[in-house]
């Protein structure tokens, strides 16, 4: 079965790392493991940071031209060489999909979305949302990760018949071979190490770093050191936010290869990332696969990948005091860290691995009328 795959936010081989890129790449690998033949149909980026109407029109014109080119390309092929299913990953108001519905209609093949959703953009994004919803309504099937997406789609479509659940997952094969990275020699090996990972850019990312700095500056009477993995345009602002914390406690790694991210996790004891406005948080699954207990907020998609009091501790959203209590509890209790870390690793292996996703994808896509 041949699949044309498209991600309107950014292609899975884009040079800038992100959770969206990671999920798209994992989906392609899972589909291949499920015995589908997958082609990256287009690298056209429909995503926009700005809501200007002129940008919307330019993006739409470019997308429809891309669709026309693809239709001509596919129609020039013999029928047994054309795609049999079109899958678009993550169409939403900042990244509508104009290409998938157009090509699928012309080729008379099923159109499928994965993680079609609605986000919290203001009224200036309503024209973009209308474009995204017009495409979403044309799909034959929607695979959803989050309960909020299920609710949105069922209300938008007026039905649940076209909806199929698939749990968030990661590719453990990429992480298993990494070795623990050596930490600063001056750190006391008996002092627990906190690790965090995130891109340092404006918006929810730098706000999460600001929240961590606020949490940790009032915990300097507790023994801990911290590894901070990530870089980006807001790195100076992030470092300034952490300036109230003793510099000897902090090890800034910058942006590193994914194998080193896993290595730093394996060298640490607790993973934290507040998860403010976090749709899913693939990094939590990466931390769990390294055997780390997690502290975060009980917010949006975080509970999908972190089980409170089993694989981590989830504080109420924006409750910095409770976050400190939970983090201190783990820092001072090695036995609890080991037990939660072991549970986290097993959870990923049993329920959130790419192998678990393969069977689910097969089951969801089997119902399409081809």
- Write the CATH number for 129: 3.40.50.2000
Q: Is 90 exceeded by the pLDDT of residue 9?
A: yes
129 within domain boundaries: yes
**104/219 same-domain check:** no
Residue 35: partners with Cβ closer than 8 Å, 6 or more residues away: 1, 362
- C-beta atoms surrounding 123 within 10 Å: 8
**238/124 same-domain check:** no
Strands 141-144 and 85-89: unpaired
Confidence of residue 237 (pLDDT cuts 50, 70, 90): very high
Main-chain dihedrals φ then ψ at residue 363, nearest 5 degrees: -65, -45
Main-chain dihedrals φ then ψ at residue 294, nearest 5 degrees: -125, 140
**161/194 same-domain check:** no
Number of domains in the chain: 2
Structure tokens at 109: 């093949």
Predicted local confidence at residue 183, as pLDDT: 94
**223/146 same-domain check:** no
**137/7 same-domain check:** yes
Residue pair 330/296 in contact by the 8 Å Cβ criterion: no
Task: Please list the residues that pair with 112 across neighbouring strands.
Answer: 87, 141
189 within domain boundaries: yes
Predicted local confidence at residue 252, as pLDDT: 98
**Buried/exposed 101-122: b ≥16 CB within 10 Å, e otherwise:** bbbbeebebbbbbbbbbbeeee
Predicted local confidence at residue 370, as pLDDT: 58
Structure tokens at 88: 């678009």
User: What is the rounded CA–CA span in Å between residue 191 and residue 12?
Assistant: 39
Residue 60: partners with Cβ closer than 8 Å, 6 or more residues away: 96, 98, 131
**309/361 same-domain check:** no
**What mean pLDDT comes out for the span 62-90?**
97
Percent of the chain with pLDDT over 90: 88
User: What is the rounded CA–CA span in Å between residue 281 and residue 286?
Assistant: 9
**What mean pLDDT comes out for the span 353-362?**
92
**185/326 same-domain check:** yes
Q: Is 80 exceeded by the pLDDT of residue 174?
A: no
370 within domain boundaries: no
9 within domain boundaries: yes
State pLDDT tens for residues 15-26: 888 889 989 999
**What mean pLDDT comes out for the span 82-96?**
97
Sort residue 61 into left (φ over 0), alpha (ψ -120 to 50) or beta. Answer: alpha
**319/192 same-domain check:** yes
HSE, CB side, 13 Å, CA atoms: give it for residue 99. Answer: 29
Confidence of residue 254 (pLDDT cuts 50, 70, 90): very high
User: Which range in 256-260, 277-281, 324-328 is most confidently predicted, on average pLDDT?
Assistant: 324-328
Name the DSSP class of 228: E
Q: How many angstroms separate the Cα of 218 from the Cα of each of 15, 215, 251, 325, 329?
A: 37, 6, 18, 11, 15
**361/329 same-domain check:** no
- The mean of the pLDDT values for the chain is 95
**70/12 same-domain check:** yes
Task: Please list the residues that pair with 225 across neighbouring strands.
Answer: 193
**220/296 same-domain check:** yes
Predicted local confidence at residue 369, as pLDDT: 59
Domain that holds residue 320: 173-351
Structure tokens at 124: 């200036």
43 within domain boundaries: yes
| C-alpha 143: how far from chain center | 15
Q: Is 70 exceeded by the pLDDT of residue 177?
A: no
**208/135 same-domain check:** no
62 within domain boundaries: yes
**Buried/exposed 260-281: b ≥16 CB within 10 Å, e otherwise:** ebbbbbbbbbbbbbbbbbbbbb
**What mean pLDDT comes out for the span 317-340?**
98
Residue found by looking up tokens 């924006």 in the block: 318
Predicted local confidence at residue 19, as pLDDT: 82
């Amino acid at each position: 079965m041949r699949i044309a795959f498209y991600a309107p936010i950014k292609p899975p081989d884009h040079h800038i790392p992100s959770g969206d890129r990671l999920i798209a790449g994992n989906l392609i690998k899972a589909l291949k493991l499920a015995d589908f033949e997958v082609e990256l149909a287009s690298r056209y980026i429909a995503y926009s940071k700005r809501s200007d109407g002129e940008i919307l029109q330019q993006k739409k014109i470019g997308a429809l031209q891309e669709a026309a080119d693809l239709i001509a390309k596919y129609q020039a092929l013999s029928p047994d060489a054309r795609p049999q299913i079109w899958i678009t990953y993550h169409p939403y108001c900042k990244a509508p999909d104009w290409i998938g519905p157009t090509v699928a209609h012309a080729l008379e093949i099923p159109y499928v979305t994965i993680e079609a959703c609605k986000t919290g953009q203001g009224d200036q994004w309503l024209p973009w949302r209308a474009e995204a919803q017009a495409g979403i309504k044309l799909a034959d099937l929607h695979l959803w990760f989050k309960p909020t997406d299920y609710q949105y789609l069922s209300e938008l479509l007026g039905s649940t018949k076209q909806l199929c659940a698939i749990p968030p997952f990661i590719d453990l094969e990429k992480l298993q071979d990494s070795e623990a990275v050596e930490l600063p020699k001056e750190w006391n090996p008996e002092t627990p190490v906190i690790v965090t990972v995130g891109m340092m850019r404006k918006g929810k990312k730098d706000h999460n770093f600001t929240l961590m700095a606020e949490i940790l500056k009032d915990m300097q009477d507790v023994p801990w050191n911290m590894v901070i993995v990530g870089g980006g345009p807001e790195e100076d602002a992030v470092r300034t936010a952490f300036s109230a914390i003793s510099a000897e406690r902090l090890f800034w790694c910058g942006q590193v290869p994914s194998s080193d991210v896993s290595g730093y996790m394996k060298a640490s004891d607790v993973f934290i990332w507040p998860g403010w406005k976090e749709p899913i948080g693939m990094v939590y699954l990466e931390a769990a696969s390294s055997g780390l207990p997690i502290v975060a907020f009980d917010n949006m998609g975080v509970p999908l990948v972190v089980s409170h009091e089993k694989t981590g501790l989830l504080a109420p959203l924006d409750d910095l005091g409770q976050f400190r209590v939970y983090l201190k509890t783990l820092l001072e209790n090695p036995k609890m860290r080991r037990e939660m870390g072991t549970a986290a690793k097993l959870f990923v292996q049993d329920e959130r691995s790419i192998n678990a996703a393969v069977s689910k994808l097969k089951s969801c896509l089997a119902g399409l009328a081809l």
